[in-house]
Amino acid sequence: MSKVLIIGAGGVGGVVTHKCAQHPEVFSEICLASRNEDKCRAIADQLDRQIQTAQVDADNVEALVALIESFKPDLLIHVALPYQDLTIMEACLRTGVPYLDTANYEHPDEAKFEYKEQWAFQERYAKAGVMATLGCGFDPGMTNIYCAYAQKNLFDEIHQIDILDANGGDHGYPFATNFNPEINIREITANGRYWEEGEWKETAPLAEKRTFDFDGIGEKDLYLLYHEELESLSQNIKGLKRIRFWMTFSEKYITHLKVLENVGMTSIEPIEFEGKQITPLQFLKAVLPDPASLGPRTKGKTNIGIIADGIKDGKRRKVHIYNICDHEACYREVQSQAISYTTGVPAVTGAMLMLEGIWKGAGVFNVEQLDPDPFMARIGEMGLPWQVVELDPEADPLA
């Protein structure tokens, strides 16, 4: 029986609230707070149990501390934006409340996506005896836990990991992003980067392309991107020689993105427009469909997972560990598409394990540093079943 405070009433916040509400035995009281309380109330109205709602500016530590002190949660789930990671971590530290998020800190004026400033809280959290769990969505999150599970149960040593994120869903719009457009476009327009033999290697944006035949959704084009879990996994998986991240995009998506980029609409440099400073990417976000509105329109499935390649009992082994998630089934259950669902369900599962004392510790943890077994044992019944498929150890599935 615990009180949970959820910050952020967007696509992921909706799923997290629904999923917490489905488990009153763990989350006996829920408060959903966001910049705009009407959005919290709209989510609360979808539920068949009472929850509290609140308005909070999560950029403001004092406002967060005041909300935490009045609701007195046992845990805080942060699913607002990556810009708020540091303020919310600071507020949790000051009030001694355990913290969980799904994305690493991003400075509003720079596309960096790095853990440095969150890891800098390590000593203060450890000293205060408070736990912070970082990156417990799907990727990062579930993918890190698949890696930790493979390391613990399937391999003696993992040499190579490829994270494969495929979305076979169709929302019927010519162009829309499945989660916050600003964050999504910042990730995709940045240079690609992967880690090999202890070094970061850079590629031009979307320069590396492969195809892969995904269970449940068929053959798709994949592009190499930098993604934040590479930073922690390259440090936490022993014996690792290379780790890369790949995401599927349709040709239509890439064409739209290139045009928007070529005309300057994806820039995060402010410009003067009619006497005001505006950021082109923020303006673009305002005209694109709200990701939360894609739910009722999206059909098809996602397949997200990892290919791990290494050694077991002296022999080479290669496995694909993945989940297939159906957009329409997610919408029937929690009124959201699969991208928000696959992010929110691991967040709630991680929160449960923390509240039950199964995941415990003092300090700042990336999820692969925690025991993957209780998580993997529970995530299927929470809505994200997984499978392990053996691949030909000598063949390159991304050739």
Binding site for ligand NDP (CB under 6 A): 8-13, 34-36, 39, 56-59, 79-82, 84, 102-103, 137-141, 179-180, 183, 291-292, 339-340, 343
Q: How far is the CB of 40 from ligand NDP (least distance, A)?
A: 8
The least CB distance from residue 187 to ligand NDP, in Å, is 9
Residue 182, burial from CB neighbour count under 10 angstroms (0-12, 13-18, 19+): buried
Q: Amino acid letter at 317?
A: R
Q: Based on CB atoms, which residue is closest to ligand NDP, 22 or 167?
A: 167
For the CB of residue 95, give the shortest distance to ligand NDP in the complex, in Å. Answer: 17
Which tokens hold the place of 304? Answer: 């997200």
Residue nearest to ligand NDP (CB): 10
Q: Which residue, 42 or 311, is less far from ligand NDP as judged by CB?
A: 42
Tell the smallest beta-carbon distance from residue 38 to ligand NDP (Å): 9
The tokens for 114 are 């790095």
- Name which of 102 and 151 has its Cβ closer to ligand NDP: 102
Q: Which is nearer to ligand NDP, 303 or 340 (CB)?
A: 340
Residue with smaller CB distance to ligand NDP, 310 or 350: 350
- What's the rounded Cα separation, in Å, for the pair 39 and 13? 10
Is the CB of 155 or the CB of 341 nearer to ligand NDP?
341
Question: Please, what is the minimum distance in Å from the beta carbon of residue 178 to ligand NDP?
Answer: 8
Rounded Cα–Cα distance for residues 244 and 226 (Å): 8
Residue linked to tokens 């696959």: 342
Closer by beta carbon to ligand NDP, 42 or else 362: 42
- Which residue is it, tokens 């992010």? 343
Q: Which is nearer to ligand NDP, 138 or 212 (CB)?
A: 138
Q: Compute the least distance from the CB of residue 289 to ligand NDP, in Å.
A: 11
Residue 301 region by backbone torsions, left for phi larger than 0, else alpha for psi between -120 and 50, else beta: beta
Q: How far is the CB of 78 from ligand NDP (least distance, A)?
A: 8
CB of 313 to ligand NDP, least distance (A): 33
- The DSSP secondary structure of 128-173, one letter per residue, reads HT-EEEE--BTTTBHHHHHHHHIIIII-SEEEEEEEEEEE--B-S-
The smaller minimum CB distance to ligand NDP, of residues 85 and 309, is found at 85
Whole-angstrom Cα distance, residue 99 to residue 20? 15
CA–CA separation, 353 and 280 (whole Å): 41
Closest CA to 172 of 299, 78, 47, 275: 299
Identify which of residues 40 and 307 has a Cβ nearer to ligand NDP in the complex: 40
Smallest gap from residue 304 Cβ to ligand NDP (A): 8
**Start-end of H helices in the chain:** 11-21, 37-44, 61-71, 85-95, 116-119, 122-128, 142-149, 181-189, 229-236, 251-262, 280-287, 327-334, 338-355, 372-382
Exposed/middle/buried for residue 199 (C-beta within 10 Å: 0-12, 13-18, 19+): exposed
HSE, side-chain direction, 13 A CA sphere, residue 187: 27
Least gap, CB of 79 to ligand NDP (angstroms): 5
Residue 71 neighbours by CB under 8 Å, 6+ apart:
3, 5, 31, 52, 54
CB of 324 to ligand NDP, least distance (A): 16
Which one, 84 or 366, has the nearer CB to ligand NDP? 84
Residues in the chain: 399
Whether residue 148 contacts residue 372, with contact meaning beta carbons closer than 8 Å, is answered with yes
